[in-house]
Structures are given as C-alpha cells and as structure tokens.
Amino acid sequence: MAATPPVCDFGWKAPDFALPATDGEVWSLARVAGQRGTLIMFICNHCPYVRSILDRIVRDAHGLMELGIGVAAISSNDATAYPADGFDQMRAEASHNGFRFPYLYDETQDVARSYGAVCTPDFFGFDANFGLQYRGRLDASGRNPAAPESRRELFEAMRQIAETGIGPRDQIASMGCSIKWRAA
C-alpha cells in the first residue's frame, strides 16, 4: 500500500540508534554522521518504489558522501512476513548495488518508530547538529525512469544543507510502500 510521510518538521532532532549493518559492524547515529550533515534513508529490498530508483539513491548517496554528508540506509520491514527484506538478503542487495554506506537492520522496528518513518523510501536529511532540514522525495520521477532533465531534489537539498545548514522551505514528500509493521 502506498504511503506518504508528513512534511518536514524543521529542527526536529534525530534519535540515536545502534543497529547491525550488512558490513558486520554496529553503527550509531554519531558513527554515521558527516561533518556537514547526515542523511538517514528508510528503504527495503522488495519495495517497487525503492527498486525503481535504487540506482539513483546509490548515485546520490555516494555523491553526498563526497560532500561531507554521512549516509545510512535502514530496513525496518517485518522480515518474517517479507522474507526478501531479511538480513541475508540485505547483505546481497548492498553488495550487488555497491553500497559504500552502511545498510542497517532495524529488526525491532524501534528506530523506524522513533523517526516516525512511514514508507520506503523515506528520507531524513539533517544538518551538522542533527536538526531535520529535509523530508522530501528523491526526485519527481516516482516509480518511473527519471527524465534527463529531472531535478535531483534530495541531492540538491542536502548540498544546500551542507553549505548553509538550512534545508529548502519548499519540499515535496516522498511516496512509497508503507513500512511493513509486525502484527501487534
């Protein structure tokens, strides 16, 4: 089911976490953080929205890392109900797509809840002091191939945050599959 997150709550502070990654390490928010900002992306392996833009997510994440932005992806889906989102499959996905950023597993779903994550993909762009400055989409393409002239909205917003500490006032929310929560 498609879901859309709320608009950016400017200045909201990023919750800390300690999650296992596909690289065998445990990563915290402080360890992910970049000198000029931090991008936390909630993604998963099976979501058609993520799958259709994953090449651009990887491209932009790697480009942002070169600008001093720390980047991490988190999968919080219920892997029992959605085995394609299990930890072993996450390792394969990170390797196959050449992730140079940590791909973290939120098995308890506590981190997704603390962030208020709604869908995959859901992007949280923070300034150097962990204040939220961007909660928008990657670009206008949705699940379609991006047109050559498509604006790289996430990349441009995070570059602006790296340079000024302030995100764009006009943001369009991401859209994607709802997080697959465990049954209560």
Is pLDDT of 145 > 90? Answer: no
Domain membership flag for residue 44: yes
What is the per-residue pLDDT across 60-94, written as a single tens digit (0 to 9) for each? 999 999 999 999 999 999 999 999 999 999 999 99
pTM: 0.96
Q: What is d(CA 87, CA 77) in angstroms, rounded to the nearest whole number?
A: 11
Domain membership flag for residue 26: yes
Domain membership flag for residue 65: yes
Strand partners, 20: 26
pLDDT of residue 148: 75
What is the per-residue pLDDT across 20-76, written as a single tens digit (0 to 9) for each? 999 999 999 999 999 999 999 999 999 999 999 999 999 999 999 999 999 999 999
Asked whether the beta carbons of 23 and 73 are under 8 A apart, the reply is no
Structurally, the chain folds into a number of domains equal to 1
Domain membership flag for residue 170: yes
User: What is the residue-averaged pLDDT of the chain?
Assistant: 95
pLDDT of residue 1: 64
CATH number, domain with residue 48: 3.40.30.10
